[in-house]
Structure 1
Amino acid sequence: MNNKFDALKDDDSGDHDQNEENSTQKDGEKEKTERDKSQSSSKRKAVVPGPAEHPLQYNYTFWYSRRTPGRPTSSQSYEQNIKQIGTFASVEQFWRFYSHMVRPGDLTGHSDFHLFKEGIKPMWEDDANKNGGKWIIRLRKGLASRCWENLILAMLGEQFMVGEEICGAVVSVRFQEDIISIWNKTASDQATTARIRDTLRRVLNLPPNTIMEYKTHTDSIKWLLWWVQSLALELLHAVNTAKSINQ
């Protein structure tokens, strides 16, 4: 499974300039070559529906992340840990990815699948997410695979009917429970968040007493900062205690 999630590595091989007299010319040629390579790479990475395929309204990207439980991560370490699986532009391309992916119920440890519109990273700080929030549903073990599939099919099929508000969805596999969430751009738009909630209840066929929590990304960031500060204070207290004992 590791190979599936490893990011593709670009070929960074290149000739070094060895002739000082021709260095300016060679640097210019090298810059042009790298620019051509970059443009060619960009063209290769553009994802479009194939012939006779059914295009989606937006392109989407699958991501995967895994981390050590009980340990908060900084934005930088989180970004380094999350791996891009691939981007698709049509129904057929989606199924080619999805049919080869492990189902959430079969994941182990502290793992997450993310499905976001192309160009939006599954991070609170992303420009598309920073003013938004997410609906969170906690599931007992055994329900994640079915709920995740129903959620992403509803998202790809534009069933939420809230324009461009939807950013993406996440399924988080934990030891005691699993969590699914759907992210939107504008946390302050109560009418939109209410429509997302009602659609979520319908597409997941949730019982009326199901607890659904809406959390803004601003609150999530504040909570993370509080957690980090608490751990720092505990560590400082432990260090001071050890010093007093040694004295």
Structure 2
Amino acid sequence: MATEDVNEALAAAEVPATETTEKQPADKLERKWSFWFDNQSKPKQGAAWGASLRKAYTFDTVQDFWGLHETIFIPSKLTPNAEIHMFKAGVEPKWEDPECANGGKWTFVVTSNRKPALDKAWLETLMALVGEQFDEADDIQRNLTENPLSRLESFFLLLSSRPSRRLRICGVVASVRPKQDKLSLWTRTKSNEAVLMGIGKKWKEILDVTDKITFTNHDDSRRTRFTV
């Protein structure tokens, strides 16, 4: 699919649902998630920030997640200055949203092998979010580390083993720029240092990178607070 076609499909929010059959019942996720798209490559004069932000699709099954990601929501297919977001359903990827207003973000800048590395980091982060891996560490996660299963086995085990909790993460943003691509993981809090450091260390482990990732508050995005 050409880049222009991808951007048009996302901007139009015409994303088909993944079909399920009686032989393949839908596997429900812990919560609903929404994909959003923002194309700032051709901003309209005088337009307010976020004017081009559009919700594309809300899903709550494993099948829809994989279908949407593999068909459309891949960052490397975007033109420069476009962004894809995956946030909890009901939360807008804006600092002003009540779930995000008192939070901040961890940022990972892709420095080498840009497009493949961006796509890999994006997918690993999405899987961690829908798999509820950003909650407090527990025996399940430790067991998976000590006794590695296949990615798919780990994914379903985590889905089936966690009770419903209020996630500490709002969502993730993939930003494609002419000279630099990055991922930003938005948090609900900016005040609980222990929680924030736990999230940062967990994310870096999920990304499996040696590069530093940094945390900034939404209301003071120029000042780095933490680095792991």
| TM, length-normalised to structure 1 | 0.65
- The aligned counterpart of 1:29 is none
Q: Which runs of 5+ in 1 are unaligned?
A: 9-48, 224-247
Instruction: Give the whole-Å Cα distance in 1 for the aligned partners of 2:32 and 2:118.
Output: 24
- What's the offset of the Cα at 1:212? 1.3
- What's the offset of the Cα at 1:121? 0.3
Are 2:121 and 1:147 equivalent residues in the alignment?
yes
Name which of 137, 141, 150 aligns with 2:108: 137
- SS of corresponding position for 2:219: helix
Instruction: Give the whole-Å Cα distance in 2 for the aligned partners of 1:172 and 1:108.
Output: 10
Classify 1:80/1:105 alpha carbon distance in 2 versus 1 (closer, same or farther; 3 Å).
same
Are 2:184 and 1:181 equivalent residues in the alignment?
yes
Q: Which amino acid in 1 is paired with 2:191?
A: S
Aligned residues: 177
- The aligned counterpart of 2:217 is 216
Classify 1:110/1:118 alpha carbon distance in 2 versus 1 (closer, same or farther; 3 Å).
same
Alignment of 1:87-98 (within 5 A): 87-98=58-69
- Do the aligned partners of 2:124 and 2:206 also contact (CA within 8 Å) in 1? yes
Q: Which amino acid in 2 is paired with 1:118?
A: A
- What's the offset of the Cα at 1:107? 1.7
Instruction: Give the whole-Å Cα distance in 1 for the aligned partners of 2:99 and 2:170.
Output: 7
Name which of 4, 12, 15 aligns with 1:6: 12
Name which of 84, 89, 99 aligns with 2:55: 84
Alignment of 1:170-209 (within 5 A): 170-207=173-210
Q: Which runs of 5+ in 2 are unaligned?
A: 15-19, 137-165, 224-228
- The aligned counterpart of 1:228 is none
- What's the offset of the Cα at 1:100? 1.3
Instruction: Give the whole-Å Cα distance in 1 for the aligned partners of 2:21 and 2:107.
Output: 35
- The aligned counterpart of 1:59 is 32
| TM, length-normalised to structure 2 | 0.71
Q: Which runs of 4+ in 1 moved over 3 A?
A: none
- Do the aligned partners of 2:41 and 2:82 also contact (CA within 8 Å) in 1? no
Classify 1:50/1:114 alpha carbon distance in 2 versus 1 (closer, same or farther; 3 Å).
farther
Could you say what the CA RMSD is over the residues aligned between the two structures, in angstroms? 2.5
> Would you tell me which structure has more helix in proportion to its own residues?
1
- The aligned counterpart of 2:89 is 118
- Do the aligned partners of 2:134 and 2:168 also contact (CA within 8 Å) in 1? no
Q: Which has the larger radius of gyration?
A: 1
- Aligned sequence identity (%): 28
- The aligned counterpart of 1:240 is none
- SS of corresponding position for 1:193: helix
Classify 1:68/1:4 alpha carbon distance in 2 versus 1 (closer, same or farther; 3 Å).
closer
- SS of corresponding position for 1:86: strand
